[in-house]
Amino acid sequence: MLPRHVAVVMDGNGRWANKRHLPRAAGHKAGVNATRKIVENCAKKGVEALTIFAFSSENWNRPESEVSSLMSLFVSTITAEVKKLHKKNVRVCFIGDRSRFSAKLQQSIAESEELTRDNTGLQLNIAANYGGRWDIVNACRQLAAAVRDGSVALDDIDEQLFDSSVCLSEMPAPDLFIRTGGEQRISNFLIWQLAYSELYFVDTLWPDFSDDDFEASLDWYAGRQRRFGKTGQQLIDDQAMQSN
Ligand code: IPE
Ligand code: IPE
Ligand code: MG
């Protein structure tokens, strides 16, 4: 089975550059090519949503020169890629707190969302200045405000309502989570939304992540039995019932 929603922590750009005695910025630039490939593959295969971690709320802690080279890369990449994505019917959305970005970057973000808003193909969510804890706290604030103004009763707050208040609530949660670069951690990515995702970790550094590597992750995913708390036998029985 093909995942409906894939989420990716694109990690390893810096190490890819270090290995080649290049500046870290060169690794980020090379990473854009791998990103383009996975977007194209997802669109071609009919994956409904791809969510990529481009910049975490913690990445502000990097040296200023790296942060500023990443910011320029975002502006130039959005400018260069969005029209092509639009032609491919991709809908581009950003998640995260964009208020800390420069006016120029905020404008590129808004324009790319506006241009592609009615597209019906792949939904590409770009997590920029995103943090899972920020997302959860944001949802809490929204719900608390709704309780305060009387539009939501305290007793109405349940998992479903909470879920509708976090980012990406309008789509199924990620089925497949991929992290390249060898680390086996979530790094404050979609911590609420990943509760039941299949987690795939691979040593390949992001700029080296190829079509075949993506294919391998999809094959691995297809071999998972997603039990959601049930027993394996129950799933076999359910499937037999459905095919009758
Ligand atoms: C991921 O690659 C890209 C961003 C965080 C923007 P890294 O820059 O984290 O690469 P490594 O982990 O240092 O190799
Ligand atoms: C996670 O990678 C963020 C992105 C890929 C944008 P990091 O490289 O920042 O993660 P940690 O800090 O090593 O966990
Ligand atoms: Mg890293």
Is residue 15 within 6 Å of ligand 1 at its C-beta?
yes
pTM check: above 0.95:
yes
11 is catalytic: yes
CA distance 183 to 188: 13
Is residue 74 within 6 Å of ligand 1 at its C-beta?
no
Helix or strand run (H / E) with residue 207: none
d(CA 11, ligand 1 centre) in Å: 5
Q: Any idea what the CATH number is for the domain that residue 121 is in?
A: 3.40.1180.10
Domain that holds residue 216: 5-243
DSSP state of 90: P
Pull the structure tokens for residue 106. 């905020």
CA-based R_g, the chain, Å: 19
Q: Which of 18, 41, 59, 188 is catalytic?
A: 59
Nearest ligand atom owner, CA of 16: 1
Residue whose Cα lies nearest atom 3 of ligand 1: it is 11
Pairing of strands 176-179, 123-130: unpaired
Pull the structure tokens for residue 105. 């970057």
Is residue 192 within 6 Å of ligand 1 at its C-beta?
no
Cα–Cα nearest to 147, from 160, 156, 138: 156
Which pLDDT score is estimated for 25?
98
Is residue 11 within 6 Å of ligand 1 at its C-beta?
yes
Which pLDDT score is estimated for 244?
86
How many angstroms from the chain centroid is the CA of residue 128? Answer: 10
Looking from the CA of residue 70, the nearest atom of ligand 1 is 6
- Those residues with Cβ within 8 angstroms of residue 111's Cβ, 6 or more apart along the chain or in another chain: 82
Pull the structure tokens for residue 121. 């193909």
Nearest ligand atom owner, CA of 57: 2
Q: What is the pLDDT along the chain (244 residues), one digit of tens a residue?
A: 999 999 999 999 999 999 999 999 999 999 999 999 999 999 999 999 999 999 999 999 999 999 999 999 999 999 999 999 999 999 999 999 999 999 999 999 999 999 999 999 999 999 999 999 999 999 999 999 999 999 999 999 999 999 999 999 999 999 999 999 999 999 999 999 999 999 999 999 999 999 999 999 999 999 999 999 999 999 999 999 999 8
Looking from the CA of residue 53, the nearest atom of ligand 2 is 6
Nearest ligand atom owner, CA of 205: 1
Which of 8, 10, 15 to mutate for ligand 1's pocket (most ligand atoms within 8 Å of CB)? 15
Residue whose Cα lies nearest atom 12 of ligand 2: it is 187
> In the chain, which ranges are continuous DSSP H helix?
13-19, 24-45, 64-87, 103-116, 132-148, 159-163, 211-222, 232-243
Which pLDDT score is estimated for 18?
98
59 is catalytic: yes
Residue whose Cα lies nearest atom 11 of ligand 2: it is 187
Domain count, the chain: 1
Residues in contact with ligand 2 by the CB-under-6-Å rule are 9-11, 53-56, 58-59, 183, 185, 187
Which pLDDT score is estimated for 161?
98
How many angstroms from the chain centroid is the CA of residue 5? Answer: 9
Pull the structure tokens for residue 141. 């604030």
Which pLDDT score is estimated for 137?
98
Residue whose Cα lies nearest atom 14 of ligand 2: it is 187
Which pLDDT score is estimated for 193?
98
Residue type, position 188, single letter: N
